[in-house]
C-alpha cells in the first residue's frame, strides 16, 4: 500500500459492447477520510464507474485502485476494502435482518467472533427488527439494512449509489446521521446523488461527470464559489416606480416599493460597484442582503459549458 488516496482512478474508460462509451479517460482521487460526492446528470456514467469498482463491470481502459489495491491485480483485496450500497434493494425477503447480515458476513469470510451483527443493526436503528422477516420492513428500513449489509466486513471505504432516491426526508436525515458517524469513525464515504443540496451539505469534495467525462473535481466550498452570478437585494430610502439602469447590472427587478433585487456577474464587478451604481442614481441605501449561489447553479453552468 503506497497510495494515500482511498480510491485512485486513472484514465478510466468504459465502452459497452454495443459501442456506447460510458466513461472517457476519467482521472481523479478520493482522498482518505472524506465524504466525497460524485454528481452527474442521468446517464453520465456514475453507475458504470461504481460497478467497475465493485467488480461487476469490466473497464476497457485505465486503472483503478481501492485503498491502494489495484482492482485488476488485487481484486480480492480491493473488494475487501469497499462496501457498496446499490440503487436496487437486494436481499432475500424470507431472511430476517439478523440472518441477512450473518449470511453476508459469511460470504465475506468474517469469522464469527469478529461479526458485528447486532452492533450494525443498532447503528441503523433496526435492533428491534433483528428477527422480523425482511419482507415486512418498510422501504426506509430496507435501505438502512442495505447500508448495514455493505458494512459487515468493516471496509474502510463505503460507496452509496443514490442512497436516498425515494426515501422520505426523515429517513434521509437518519441515514445521513449514520453516514456521518461512520465517517467520523474513519470510513471514507463516496456517494452519488441527484440532490445537489444534499451533496452541498454533506460532501467535503465533489466530482462531476457529464457524458462520461470528468468536468469538475473541487472542494465543495470552491465549487460553490465558482458560480458567477450573485444576487444582492438593496433596500433604498424612497419609493420607486421604475428600477434604475446601470451597465454593471446583469438584471434588476423591483421587488417592492423600496427593494431592488440586482443580479451581477461577480467575475466582472464587485458588490461595491453595484451599490455605487445605485447611489449614483441618487438613491440612499438603507439595507443590503446577498444571496450566495448554490451548487445547483454551478452544476447547471458546468454541465451547460461542457455540453456547448
Ligand atoms: N450494460 C450496458 N450496455 C450498454 N450501455 C450501457 C449499459 N449500462 C449503461 N449504459 C449506458 O452508459 C451510459 C452511462 O450509464 P450509467 O448508468 O453509468 O449512468 P449514470 O450516471 O449512473 O446514470 P443514472 O444516474 O441514471 O443511474 C448511459 O448512456 C447508459 O445508457
Model confidence pLDDT, tens digit, residues 141-182: 888 899 999 999 999 999 998 877 667 777 788 888 888 999
47 CA closest ligand 1 atom index = 22
**139-150 helix and 169-184 helix, angle to the nearest 10 degrees:** 10
Q: Is the pLDDT of residue 241 over 50?
A: yes
16 has a pLDDT exceeding 50: yes
The pLDDT assigned to 224 comes to 76
Residue nearest to atom 10 of ligand 1 (CA): 22
Cα 199 vs. chain centroid, distance in angstroms?
Answer: 4
Half-sphere exposure of 9 (CA within 13 A, CB side): 24
In the structure, what pLDDT confidence band is assigned to residue 4 with cuts at 50, 70 and 90? confident
pLDDT of 1 above 50: no
Residue whose Cα lies nearest atom 26 of ligand 1: it is 42
Bigger pLDDT: 156 vs 201? 156
Q: Which residue has the higher pLDDT, 296 or 263?
A: 263
Residue nearest to atom 31 of ligand 1 (CA): 43
Domain ranges of the chain: 5-224, 228-291
Burial string for 5-37 (b: 16+ CB within 10 Å, else e) reads bbbbbeebbbeeeeeebbbbebebbbebebbbb
Residue 134 DSSP symbol? G
Q: Is the CB of 227 under 6 A from ligand 1?
A: no
> Over pLDDT 90: what percentage of the chain?
63
Give 293's pLDDT tier (boundaries 50, 70, 90): low
Q: Are 181 and 173 within 8 A, CB to CB? A: no
Q: Which pLDDT value is given to residue 305?
A: 77
What is the CATH superfamily name and number for domain 5-224?
A: P-loop containing nucleotide triphosphate hydrolases (3.40.50.300)
pLDDT at 196: 78
Which has the minimum average pLDDT: 18-27, 57-66, 67-76, 88-97?
Answer: 88-97
14 lines ligand 1 (CB under 6 A): no
- At residue 10, does pLDDT exceed 90? yes
What's the CATH code, domain 228-291? 3.30.70.1560
* CA of residue 162 to ligand 1 center, whole Å: 14
What is the C-alpha separation between 63 and 299, in angstroms, rounded?
27
**Reported pTM:** 0.80
pLDDT at 134: 79
pLDDT above 50: residue 2: no
Amino acid at each position: 500500500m503506497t497510495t494515500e488516496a482511498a480510491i485512485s482512478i486513472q484514465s478510466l474508460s468504459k465502452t459497452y459492447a454495443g459501442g456506447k462509451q460510458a466513461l472517457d479517460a476519467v482521472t481523479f482521487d478520493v482522498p482518505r477520510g472524506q465524504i466525497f460526492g460524485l454528481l452527474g446528470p442521468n446517464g453520465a456514467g456514475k453507475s458504470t464507474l461504481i460497478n467497475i469498482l465493485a467488480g461487476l463491470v469490466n473497464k476497457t481502459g485505465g486503472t483503478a485502485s481501492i485503498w491502494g489495491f489495484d482492482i485488476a491485480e488485487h481484486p480480492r483485496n480491493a473488494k475487501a476494502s469497499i462496501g457498496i450500497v446499490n440503487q436496487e434493494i437486494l436481499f432475500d425477503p424470507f431472511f430476517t435482518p439478523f440472518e441477512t447480515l450473518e449470511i453476508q458476513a459469511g460470504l465475506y469470510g468474517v469469522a464469527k467472533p469478529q461479526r458485528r451483527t447486532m452492533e450494525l443493526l443498532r447503528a441503523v436503528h433496526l435492533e428491534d427488527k433483528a428477527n422480523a422477516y425482511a419482507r415486512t420492513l418498510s422501504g426506509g428500513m430496507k435501505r438502512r439494512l442495505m447500508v448495514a449489509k455493505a458494512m459487515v466486513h468493516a471496509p474502510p471505504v463505503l460507496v452509496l449509489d443514490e442512497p436516498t432516491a425515494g426515501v422520505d426526508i426523515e429517513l434521509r436525515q437518519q441515514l445521513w446521521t449514520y453516514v456521518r458517524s461512520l465517517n467520523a469513525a474513519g470510513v471514507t464515504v463516496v456517494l452519488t446523488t441527484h440532490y445537489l443540496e444534499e451533496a452541498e451539505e454533506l460532501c467535503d469534495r465533489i466530482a462531476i461527470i457529464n457524458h462520461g467525462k470528468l468536468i469538475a473535481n473541487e472542494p465543495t466550498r470552491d465549487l460553490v464559489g465558482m458560480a458567477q452570478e450573485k444576487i444582492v437585494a438593496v433596500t433604498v430610502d424612497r419609493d420607486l416606480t421604475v428600477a434604475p439602469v446601470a451597465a454593471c447590472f446583469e438584471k434588476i427587478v423591483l421587488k417592492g416599493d423600496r427593494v431592488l433585487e440586482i443580479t451581477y456577474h461577480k467575475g466582472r464587478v464587485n458588490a461595491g460597484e453595484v451599490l455605487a451604481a445605485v447611489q449614483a442614481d441618487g438613491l440612499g441605501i438603507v439595507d443590503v442582503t446577498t444571496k450566495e449561489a448554490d451548487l445547483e447553479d454551478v452544476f447547471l453552468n458546468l454541465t451547460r459549458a461542457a455540453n456547448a
